[in-house]
Each structure stands twice: as C-alpha cells, then as structure tokens.
Structure 1
Amino acid sequence: MTPEISRINPDQLHETPGYHHVTVVETGRTAYLAGQCPVGPDGSVVGEDSLDLQVDQVVENALAALAAVDAGPQHVVRSVIYVRSDDREDLASVWSRFTASPLAPAFTTASTLLGVAQLGFAGQLVELDLTAALPA
C-alpha cells in the first residue's frame, strides 16, 4: 500500500519552480537516507570538476538507496541539495539537472537548495539528503 502523501503550496506563499512548500504524510514508516554523494562503487569521487557528472552519480546512488527500502522517487517527502558554490548559476544548473533526471519526482515535494563552502569528500561538489515515506 502506498502511503497517502499530500503536497501543498499555501496561497499566502510565493510560487515555486516545481517543489511544494509543505508535504504531509498521513501514516506509515519513514526512511531517512544518509547524504548521497558523488562516489562511485570503487569509493572514489566521480567528475571532480563536473557538476553534471556528480549530479548523475548522486542520482544513481539515491535511486539505489531508495530501492533498498522498496521505495522510489515518488515516495520522497523532503529533499535537501547541497552545492559547493556561491554562484547562483551553479545552483540553478544542479536543480535543473536533478529535476530532469530519473529522480525528478523527488523534487516536487518539500525541497531546499543550498550553496555551501565545503562538503565531506575532497573534490565533492554536490550532496543530496532525502527522506521518504515508505510503501507498506
């Protein structure tokens, strides 16, 4: 059984580029994924100079983590994207890449996009934090 998930944009709040201000999960279990990083199966950071390659690896890793709990992008109820940059164009580029990926339904929910000074791995430019409402 799929959990009942409502996504709301209150009239009093600004329009969004696809995400919702509020996400409500009526019942069920929740999975909290560790920050998904652009690290390949061999343990190394991919595409150290490429936001696009790093986003693609993060998408692959996030889909695998969701699948491990029998969930998909449509079950995501919260996302936080971290980009190692203070350039708004970089942040917009990462948002666009994620929302055009197979993980895109995850970003129709409550989402936050942040530019940060540093991430955990040397050469890491992107990290994604997801919370999912699990199907029964």
Structure 2
Amino acid sequence: MSAHITRVNPPALHQTPGYHHITVVAAGRTAYLAGQCPLDAEGRIVGRGDYAAQARQVAANALTALEAVGAGPGDVVRSVIYVVSDDRETLSTVWDALNASPLGGAFDTASTLLGVAQLGFTAQLVELDLTAALAG
C-alpha cells in the first residue's frame, strides 16, 4: 500500500459482506477516479445486457486508471458501485463479479452498492467510482 490506511468495523455495527464500515487514511495525496464505465478502448459498450461482463470491464478500466497514478486495489479507500437495477440478486451478481476480478482487493474498504434508474451511456448497466490514497 502506498499510504497508511486503517480499515475499521466497530463491533456495535452489523457484520458486512467483506467491506469495512470506516476507512481512515493518514494525510497525503488522494486520487479521485471518474466513474469507470463498461467501455472498451474505442469507447464502445462491452457486455450489452450482461451485468457480470460490464462489471468485469469497469474493473479492468479502473485497474488501468489506478495503475496510471501508481496505485493498485489495496490503495482504494472508497468505492461506490452503481447498478441499473432494483433487484437484489442482480446487485449481488455485480458485487460478486467485482470481488472476483483482479480489482477485487479494492472492495474490502468503505464501499457502497446502489441500484439506480439510469446511467450515462445507452445500454450501460454498471459504473464504478473509486477514491485511492497515494504515496507522498
């Protein structure tokens, strides 16, 4: 990890499915990634109609963005996952796909998973917003 990061689950709060309620970062540099979309390098939607495929693409794009600033999954201190669905099973599918991806280590930090009505691109089902702590 590039910065001192402490993750906390207070015993008085409910158990989580892998993430932490609180992430504390020592003062330093922070990277705020734009929402990563399920687009390929040419800007085309990947995995039309397939939540897991779109989750894998946003994970790959986010990993590329993190690497561009010298960070990796362990440097992520906050994630917000947007899914076009109000179905709990669909939300779980996306959560599981992200956790199984090479970016999976990013999701043991403070995380929020949201079902939303619509995202920015036609046929877009998943978007991922990350914040990472960077070295000095």
Q: Do Structure 1 and Structure 2 share a fold, with TM-score over 0.5?
A: yes
Distance 1:134 1:2 in 2: 5
What residue number does 1:32 align with?
A: 32
Distance 1:101 1:46 in 2: 16
What are the equivalent positions in structure 2 for 1:1-136 lying under 5 Å apart? Answer: 2-136=2-136
Q: Counterpart of 2:48 in structure 1: which amino acid?
A: E
Under a length normalisation based on structure 2, what TM-score does the superposition of the two structures give?
0.97
Distance 1:60 1:97 in 2: 12
Partner deviation per Cα, 1:36-81 (whole Å, 9 max, x = no partner): 0001111111111111111111011000100110000000000000
SS in 2 for 1:81: strand
CA RMSD of aligned residues (A): 0.9
Distance 1:78 1:46 in 2: 25
Gaps of 5+ in 1: none
Under a length normalisation based on structure 1, what TM-score does the superposition of the two structures give?
0.97
Identity percentage of aligned residues: 65
Distance 2:72 2:2 in 1: 11
Where do 4+ consecutive residues of structure 1 move more than 4 Å? Answer: none
Task: Quote the offset at 1:26 in angstroms.
Answer: 1.0
